Amino acid sequence: TTRPSALVLPPNSVIGILGGGQLARMIAIAAAQLGYKTHIFCPENDPSASHVSTFYTKANYNNYSALDTFAKQVNVVTYEFENIMVEPVEYLTKKLAVFPDPKILKTCQDRVMEKSFIQSLDIPTAKFEPIDSIESLREAVQKIGYPSILKSNTMGYDGKGQIKLSDDIDLEKAWKKVTSEVNVSQAILEQYIEFESEASIIVARGLDNTEVCFPLVTNKHRNHILRQTIAPAQLPEYVHKDAKEIATKIAKSIGLVGVLAVELFVVRDTATDTYKLLVNELAPRPHNSGHWTIEGCVTSQFEQLVRCVCGLPLGSVDFMRSISEKEYLKQNLQPIVMTNLLGNEVDQWEKQLSTKGSHLHIYAKGDARDGRKMGHFTLIPSEDK
Ligand code: ADP
Ligand code: MG
């Protein structure tokens, strides 16, 4: 599915996007700014992204006749979430270019495959064992010990389908909970990592095989849902360098075209006061921890994806006003903070409108269910000291 570089898609071309949530919405907004049209394909009624996209097809992802029509109406396809069925995406690759390649999707959907791939690159992860029955769970607990985390192997998100295990746990109950919550029969048991913080880094790779990494950021979760991102991560420079090396290695080895987020655990060795990074998971799409790049960076993660899939050169990942990450850290500038508006926190929208340096985004998703990502705001610190 590589397109010869002579076939760069010019403005006015149509980018097809599978999925209609806030990520698709922000991809569509970035595409429009560069003069591209977008076509959202998803089964939901009135999806958030359809409000800002040029075209919208409401159909199930495995509706092959709808996919046929869609393929004729768009020039390239991308997707906004990694739990989408792989078969329809593979089907589309026979008709036109799809980025990132669905084989990447396959790896990122399956935690055992994902962690095996990462370890094959000599990049550390938590110790893990594949689980397919209560018996294999009992054996795996012998090897990994407590505390550990049992996660559904596929279909998990925002902490769904996972449970922390300690010595007083009823394994049978835990196995039932994890498999029933997201309706799957395979799981993974992972060693529990006592991390100091969680971080992530987003790598973008173009059709010309060049890549860039956005700055490393710190992520704060509440109830397994991302609450805040702090950019750049307040960590020594070598940690930033290590993260870039990890993300670049992954992007190259997997043949990425598009953007990919690498979620990391930051572990501090107290004896030597040094930091080590473990990869937790990969997402081959824009990531919630990259929303701050809309106002915080010269090129946002969304524009970067548009550039990748259209065969354009990648944009600068410097901070706004073209300050490099190195310079930002050196000058000890205040970090940029992105905060999610979850559920009815979206009611704060008016307050954020009048907060100095706050950039408000509302996704217009309707029902503000508990924990649902309804919007976010990014605080850009002022320069006056
Ligand atoms: P999801 O697909 O739901 O995002 P993750 O694997 O990222 O699943 O897990 C969600 C959160 O649970 C992580 O961000 C982290 O806070 C915690 N977590 C996951 N795996 C581990 C682990 N092995 N050790 C410690 N904490 C973990
Ligand atoms: Mg995660």
Query: Of the residues 144, 176, 191, which one is the last residue of a structural domain?
Result: 191
Predicted pLDDT of residue 4: 57
Low-confidence ranges of the chain (pLDDT < 70): 1-6, 383-385
Amino acid in position 160? K
CA 43, chain centre distance (Å): 21
Predicted pLDDT of residue 217: 98
> Domain with 225 in it: what CATH number?
3.30.470.20
- Quick check: is 326 in a domain? yes
Task: Identify whether residues 298 and 238 lie together within a single domain.
Answer: yes
Ligand 1 pocket by Cβ (under 6 Å): 126, 149, 156-159, 190, 192-193, 198, 221, 224, 263, 280-281
> Domain with 32 in it: what CATH number?
3.40.50.20
Q: How many other CB atoms sit within 10 Å of the CB of residue 72?
A: 9
Q: Are 14 and 38 in contact (CB under 8 A)?
A: yes
Task: Identify whether residues 207 and 94 lie together within a single domain.
Answer: no
Task: Identify whether residues 32 and 174 lie together within a single domain.
Answer: no
Q: Is the dihedral of CA 363, 364, 365, 370 positive or negative?
A: positive
Q: Are 366 and 352 in contact (CB under 8 A)?
A: no
Atom from ligand 1 closest to the CA of residue 219: 14
- Quick check: is 299 in a domain? yes
Give the pairing of strands 258-269 and 148-152: unpaired
Nearest-5° Cα angle at 52, 86 to 303: 70
- Quick check: is 233 in a domain? yes
Predicted pLDDT of residue 193: 97
Asked whether the bond before 313 is cis by omega within 30 degrees of 0, the reply is no
E-strand stretches of 112-257: 128-131, 148-152, 162-165, 187-191, 197-205, 211-213, 217-222, 225-231
> Ligand 2 centroid vs 158 CA: distance in angstroms?
6
The total number of structural domains that make up the chain: 3
Atom from ligand 1 closest to the CA of residue 280: 6
**Residue-wise pLDDT tens digits, 331-348:** 888 999 999 999 999 999
Task: Identify whether residues 206 and 268 lie together within a single domain.
Answer: yes
Angle at which helices 134-144 and 171-181 cross, to 10°: 110
Confidence check on the interface: ipTM exceeds 0.95, yes or no: yes
> Ligand 1 centroid vs 267 CA: distance in angstroms?
14
User: 21 is written with which tokens?
Assistant: 């949530």
Task: Identify whether residues 308 and 211 lie together within a single domain.
Answer: yes
Query: Of the residues 145, 175, 191, which one is the last residue of a structural domain?
Result: 191
- What is the extent of the structural domain holding 25? 5-98
Task: Identify whether residues 150 and 83 lie together within a single domain.
Answer: no
> Ligand 2 centroid vs 55 CA: distance in angstroms?
31
Q: What share of the chain is helix, strand, coil (3-state, %, to 5)?
A: 35, 30, 40
Query: What pTM was estimated for this model as a whole?
Result: 0.95
Atom from ligand 1 closest to the CA of residue 126: 23
> Ligand 1 centroid vs 159 CA: distance in angstroms?
7
Task: Identify whether residues 140 and 11 lie together within a single domain.
Answer: no
Q: How many other CB atoms sit within 10 Å of the CB of residue 222?
A: 11
Q: Are 140 and 128 in contact (CB under 8 A)?
A: no
**Residue-wise pLDDT tens digits, 165-185:** 999 889 999 999 998 888 888
Q: How many other CB atoms sit within 10 Å of the CB of residue 380?
A: 17
